[in-house]
Amino acid sequence: MKNVVVVGSQWGDEGKGKIVDWLSSEADVVVRFQGGHNAGHTLVIDGKTYKLRLLPSGIVRENKISIIGNGVVVDPWALIDEIEEIRNKGVNINEENLLVSEAVSLILPVHRELDALREDNNKNGKIGTTRRGIGPAYEDKVGRRSIRLVDLSSEENLDAKLTVLLDHHNALRKGMNVKEYNKQNLKEELLKIAPKILKYSKPIWKKIDEFKKSNKKMLFEGAQGILLDVDHGTYPFVTSSNTVASSAATGSGCGVNTINYILGITKAYTTRVGEGPFPSEQKNQIGEKLGEKGKEFGTVTSRKRRCGWFDAVLVKQTIKTSGINGIALTKLDVLDEFDTIQICIAYDLNGKKIDYLPASSIEQFKVKPIYKSFKGWKTSTNGIKSFSELPKQAQTYIKFIEEFVEAKVSTVSTSPERKDTILIENPFEI
């Protein structure tokens, strides 16, 4: 039995939804372990489209258990709305197939407001957050003042914890000339939604241990991408959690020895949402064409994504920092019409050639990509299901990526449809 972690090897939006859905059909348990409802997965199953934000991808399949681990920050109102939305599409969601860690920290209205206030008042430039309160909620978690799901089970305990939380937030709000937040109103809102979400609450570390003992196949589903990791990403233009694969252990309480295989979802070109450095970005017709062909708009925010050539330097770096065993190459078909395709293989930093992205954000903005050119295949790869049937130039492109980043290409996706997948090796069976 294999337990597989799926992470994005770039800045997110790599097409994890389709790959995770395909893997979840083989898994017994699907676990979300970090992030919040700022990252979305789009699944297309039997002609039906499901846009998931907090719910694990396994939720749309029968006889699967979906888990939201302690590493996730949960907006309870957003979660209940999403449950109802997916239920209305005919999916059965109950306390048996959806388990939420009792230790998750909650995103509250005060977090959403602070997120927006900071983004609008940031004199040093925007970070590009989704304004959903994820960052401030993680800050409170680290600051040991967050409201956790288990706190909703006791009004007395909740009242005391809200006092601590709002002492901090109202001091911030006062400094920003914003009206103080009313504790009573917030407490009433939380007590009102408490019964709707507490019924899913479980000690997840204990449940996962039970699943391990009964040899259940587990799939750990990451959100965003490794380049948005708060430690290993393009700081400060990052998310507020660790997006590397090792977070699957801390974000669920399973222990690192539970993880057997790490799959990095990797787009055949590069995209980024929001602000921050992007060495291979194409602010020209090439970028526009990639965005148009790839339908590069955010699942959650509908924001237009920045587009550029494949950056093999960055992907090699994320493979090392996350311990990726193999990559699933997605959206290959988007490159079908290009005469020439470029891959970034190094950077020029002030006249010096380097083979990694520096930690300094100043230098990250300064690096210039050094490209290797490939002849385009100029024919459709859409729907191809065998590697040998791919055009020779496409095979060359894939093999070069595989050798350069030092990780096997285990899967190639040739369309948004789940069936249009070239499976080279199954992570659950290696």
CA distance 104 to 200: 12
CA distance 315 to 406: 10
Query: Do 9 and 401 touch, CB atoms closer than 8 A?
Result: no
CA distance 345 to 374: 12
Tokens linked to 52: 């998931």
Residue 98 bridge partners (DSSP): 66
Closest by CA position to 131, among listed 121, 140, 141: 121
Closest by CA position to 226, among listed 298, 106, 315, 103: 315
CA distance 396 to 391: 9
CA distance 117 to 244: 29
Query: Do 351 and 283 touch, CB atoms closer than 8 A?
Result: no
Count CB-CB contacts under 10 A for residue 250.
16
Based on the residue annotation, tell me whether 13 is a catalytic residue of this protein: yes
Alpha helices by DSSP H, listed for 143-202, are: 155-175, 183-198
Closest by CA position to 381, among listed 421, 418, 429: 421
CA distance 159 to 278: 45
- 12 by Cβ neighbours in 10 Å (0-12 / 13-18 / 19+) ranks as buried
Residue 409 bridge partners (DSSP): 327
Written as one letter, the residue type at 32 is R
Which of these is catalytic: 37, 41, 111, 169? 41
Count CB-CB contacts under 10 A for residue 90.
8
Query: Chain centroid to CA 232: how far?
Result: 14
Cα separation values, 91 from 1, 88, 158, 220, 425, Å = 28, 7, 33, 21, 30
Q: Which residues are catalytic?
A: 13, 41
